[in-house]
Every structure is written in structure tokens, then in C-alpha cells.
Structure 1
Amino acid sequence: MSDMDRLAGIALSDWQAQAREFDFRGHPLRYWEAGQGEPLLLIHGFPSGSWDWHYLWQPLAERYRVIACDMLGFGFSAKPRRHSYSLLEQADIQSGLLRQLGVSNYHILAHDYGDSVAQELLARDLEGERRIGSLCFLNGGLFPETHRPVLLQKLLMSPIGFLIGRRFSRARLAENFGKVFGPQTQPDEAELDAFWRMIETNNGPAVMHKLIHYMAERPVHRERWVGAMQRTPVPMRVIDGAVDPISGSHMVARYRELIAEPDTVLLEGIGHYPQIEAPERVLAGYLAFRDKLEQSS
């Protein structure tokens, strides 16, 4: 990966050392908090955790109060094997953490699985007290009709998903991430080690087939979630790695069809993990979005 696209990141061991713990319905979850200013909630994707934001963490903390947690079943949080995982519960977790931290109004930056959690939070925002100041999506399945799951995801969803999960390994992780990262921005060995460490902690492979059922939840909630995006007064931006085979430029094309006055930034040559592959470009795109909001307010 080019040094030009590389902010100074945080080693996974240092990231772990900064973790704090909160309890959600008897499950110990890990969260991180830094900085001051307007609260900014960072919501990670599948199958990793909040370390995904490590390149952006310090630059964002210089301007905002950044908050992130490893959701239930992810990263360094609890991964109960007999649990029925749900995107709606993950939204409850985010809301619960914000309440515990005394946060009422906040902004969101989300990725992948986290996009769906953010969509649920946006729908709740529209139905209740308006608390979300802005929402920025990175690559994710905002529309079920444009989501193109890779073979691993399809296998995890199948009747043999539990076996696929148990056999998941660092080698398979490297193989699958190699397909979704951009051709010139492939993860290096240290990054793959960190991703694998997040997944393997607390026997994560044993629950991957349970977590993957978020793919079945998306069509169920599509009308509510897409409807919320179409009706909300909350400013939104999409920053998207264009060559992502799962939710790249084809997803952005659909976003432009369905969302009025769409604000989108396509990162050419970048894949599914833009905050890892091109963190400086994501940071520039995000700060420009926020600066525009401040100028118009």
C-alpha cells in the first residue's frame, strides 16, 4: 500500500489496551472513546471490529468526540454461541452505549454491516426524537437488490454454514479479503494478522454463521430503512470504494437513483475497506462533508 494513502495507524495491541468495557444484557462489550467536541459514532462492519477505524481514529479525535464499540459477536466483545444475533439488537447496543456515555445528539460514520445498523438508527430517529446530526456511509449493502455477497457469505448462510465458520482460518480470511480489497491496495500481513485476531478472539468463527443472517434481515427491513433515507432531513453522504465487488460503484448508482440530491464520493481503484485502503481520502471526504454542513448551518 502506498505511503501517500497511509495515515499513522494504531497497532492492534495498543488499540486493545485502550478498550473500556460496558455491559449489555449480561454480555461484556468493548468500546473506545477519545477526543472532544460533537460526538461521532463509528460503526464497524462484518466480520471484523472497531479497529477498522484505527487510521482515522486520531485525526477524527482532533475534531470530534469519537465513540466506537465492538458489537456483540465481533472483535473483543462477547460472542455467545447460543445467541440469536440481530441488526436491531446491535442498534439497541449503540443506543445503550450512547446513553451510558451521556450522549444525546450525535453524528454517524458507518461501514458495511454497520451501514444497516445506522439505517435502523436513522429510522428510529425519524420516528422519535431527532438526535442524529449527520450520517456518512462507507461501502455497505444499503439496498438488498445491489448487494453481491461473496461465496464465503453465501456458504455461511447455507445449511452447512456452521461447518464453514468452524473451518474459517487466517488463510481463508486472506483469500477472501484479497478479493474485496482494491487490486493496488491489498492488505499487508500485519493487517491480516490484526483482522484475524479480531475474528478468532472468543472463538468468533463459531458464531460467524449466526452473524451472517444480517443478510436475511436486510430485505425484511428494506422499505422502512430506504424509506427513512428518502424522508429524513438528516444530511447524508456516501464515500465508496468503486471497485468493491460487494457494494462498489453499482451500489452508488442505485443510491443516486433512489435518494434525492444524492451526495456521493467514489474512490476509484479502492475496494470494500476504504478506511483501511485509502484512509486519507476517506478522511478528506468526511471532513469536507462536515465542513459543508457547518457552513450551511
Structure 2
Amino acid sequence: MPLAEIPLRAWRKRGQNFVFRGRTLRYWVAGQGTPLLLIHGFPTASWDWHYLWQPLAQRNLVIACDMLGFGDSAKPLNHDYCLLEQADLQQALLEHLGVEQPVHVLAHDYGDSVAQELLARHYEGRFQMASCVFLNGGLFPETHCPTLVQKLLLSPLGWMIGRAFGRNALASSFSQIFGPQTRPSESALDDFWSLISCNDGPRILHKLIAYIPQRRRLRDRWVAAMQRGALPLRLIDGGVDPISGAHMVERFEQLVPHADTVLLADIGHYPQIEAPVQVLRHYQAFRDRISQASPQSVYS
């Protein structure tokens, strides 16, 4: 049975504001109970979670924000965007909401890197994490395969590429990274573009893309945290994603002790949008078994 969609217009009306280091950011909260932090990817926003939002809120206090430079949040031009600052932002939001207990984390893409930093901080006693589930993302730089647009944004001409990036370029890019049977509709593409283009977003895409070299610099710190093994981790991954698909699962299983992985056949880079029912099922099973089940690989 498909999950109900939250239209972007309705989603935006539910958002609230908080100020982080002088910048206004949008966030969303629903449900009650155990806190669950959802962290979105590049170049989209927290609306990525809209299929899962209401089902997850039935069992958790679900929290998400559009990170700095994304979605409906502030997108300052004269700013050096940094994954470490985005982790600071997540902690500031939890403090703003008065969340003091350990937090479960569900992350995607760029958000995976933010979650990896929070995991490292957990082991340093600077953050309380209860568990972490990753969706498709560049967990290991050596197996991350950036798209052509990402490579161009990283080049000296990146500022020009970003300003020229439009809705048609987004559609072309997404057609390559979504599964062949699960590509977004024209209406969904309009909504994704609305979030990217809000607050003149294309002018900072070349600055946001700095997360790729940042990942390389922080790789050993983050992988070491994932290898500690004291905190429940799972990877749910769309296998046909050319950026971080089955090859990322293979690397995860090589490097993470007792790796707990789920490989979604024929699904691309955005499993929470392409296969939300499967993601929800595998996420809830992870949470249900978190205290007693041995990690295992699952193929579906």
C-alpha cells in the first residue's frame, strides 16, 4: 500500500523558524516519544522525507530541518559552507527543541556525512546518539562516484555552472541517478526545483559542493567511528544508484564490523522517495530488533 504524500505547499506551511548563528533556518517537528532526527541530502531539502514523515511520527518525535544553504533556509552568498557547521546546526536545533535524550538518526546523501560527524562526536561524549541508519551517500570517498555536474561545480568554473543550473538540468541529472522505473514525475521535479531555486539557491551550489573534498579530509575520523561497533548502524541502499549504489554497500560490508545492510534492487539514489514503503519497513524492523537481533545483510 503506497504511503500518503505531503504536498510541498502543505509541507511548507508546517515549517517553523529558528535562528542559528544569525541565519534563519526552517525546521519541522511532528509526533512524540523517542527523538528521531532526519537529515536530508544535496541538493534537495527536508521535503525528501515527506512520504515517511507521518508513519515515522506515529512512533517517534520526528525532527528535520533544511540545512544552511538548502531548501527554504537562508542561503548566504558570502559564506564558507562546512559539514562540521551543519552538524553544529543539528545539535543547535535539538537544543532549541529541548531534546536531551539520545537521538536516533536517519540520514541521506550529504546528510550521511553530517550523521558520520555526529557519530564521531557521540564517541567523544559531545553528542548522544541512539542509532544511525544511512541511505545512499558517500560514506567512503574512495567509492563515491560524483556526477558530471558535481565535478563541474568543483572546478574553477563552478560558480558559472551553478548560476546556469536550471530545472532542465535537474531533470537530466535526476533521470540518471533514480531507478529506471522510479523516476520523479514532472510535478515532483517542479517541487524539487522550487526548493533548490528558493532564496536564489543556484548561486551557491558551487560553495555547497565543497562537501566532497571535506569528506576526503574527514574520512579516517568518520570511518573509525563507524568501526567502533558499539552503536547500532544500518545501511539501506538503492542498488542501481551510480553515485553510491551496490558498490557502496560492498565497501560498507568490507569496512564495518558485523555490517547490517539492506540492498534495494532497481532503486536509485533517493530510496526514501523511490521506495518509501520498503525503506519504512526496513527502518522499523531495524528499530524493532535494535536491542536483540544480530546484524545481518538483507536483499530485497
Asked whether the two chains share a fold, i.e. TM above 0.5, the reply is yes
The answer on whether the counterparts of 2:118 and 2:127 sit within 8 Å (CA) in structure 1 is no
Cα distance in 2 for residues equivalent to 1:294 and 1:9: 31
Q: TM-score of the superposition, structure 1-length normalised?
A: 0.97
CA contact (8 A) 1:126 1:232 kept: no
Q: Which position in structure 2 is the counterpart of 1:136?
A: 133
Aligned twin of 2:191:
194
Query: Does 2:20 correspond to 1:49?
Result: no
**Which of 228, 233, 249 does residue 231 from structure 1 map onto?**
228
Q: 1:138 to 1:186 in 2, by over 3 A?
A: same
Aligned residues between the structures: 293
The TM-score, its normalising length taken from structure 2, stands at 0.96
Residue 272 of structure 1: how far off its partner (Å): 0.0
Structure 2 unmatched ranges of 5 or more: 294-300
Contact kept in structure 1, 2:103 and 2:129, CA below 8 Å = yes
Deviation at 1:209, TM superposition (A): 0.3
- Alpha-carbon offset, residue 295 of structure 1: 4.6
**1:252 matched to 2:265:** no
Give the secondary-structure state (helix, strand or coil) at the position aligned to 1:42: strand
C-alpha displacement of 1:293: 1.2
Deviations 1:152-184 (A, max 9, x none): 000000000000000111000000000000001
Counterpart AA for 2:12: Q
Partner of 1:157: 154
Shift of 1:130: 5.8
1:102 CA drift (Å): 1.0
C-alpha distance in 1 between matches for 2:94 and 2:211: 23
Match of 2:7 in 1: 11
In structure 2, which of residues 6, 17, 21 is the aligned counterpart of residue 21 of structure 1? 17
- 96, 99, 107: which is aligned to 1:110? 107
Aligned pairs for 1:1-297 (under 5 A) are 6-104=2-100, 105-129=102-126, 131-295=128-292
Tell me the amino acid that sits aligned with residue 101 of structure 1: L
For residues 291 and 35 of structure 2, the distance between their equivalents in structure 1, rounded to whole angstroms, comes to: 15
Measured after TM superposition, the shift of residue 37 of structure 1 is 1.0
Cα offset for 1:258?
0.3
| C-alpha displacement of 1:128 | 1.1
Which residue of structure 1 aligns with residue 297 of structure 2? none
AA of the residue aligned to 2:107: A
Are the equivalent residues in 1 in contact too, given 2:229–2:257 (CA < 8 A)?
A: no
d(CA) in 2 for partners of 1:223 and 1:294? 28
> Contact 2:144 / 2:248 at 8 angstroms: preserved in 1?
yes
Contact 2:153 / 2:159 at 8 angstroms: preserved in 1?
Answer: yes
Structure 1 gaps, min length 5: none
The secondary structure found in structure 1 opposite 2:285 is: helix
Is the CA contact (8 Å cut-off) linking 1:36 and 1:64 kept in structure 2?
yes
| Letter paired with 1:25 | R
Secondary structure at 1:231 match in 2:
coil
Q: Deviations over 1:24-83 (max 9, x none)?
A: 011000000000110000000000000000000000000100000000000000000000
CA distance in 2, matches of 1:282, 1:294: 20
| Deviations, residues 225-252 of structure 1 (Å, cap 9, x unaligned) | 0000001411000000000000000000
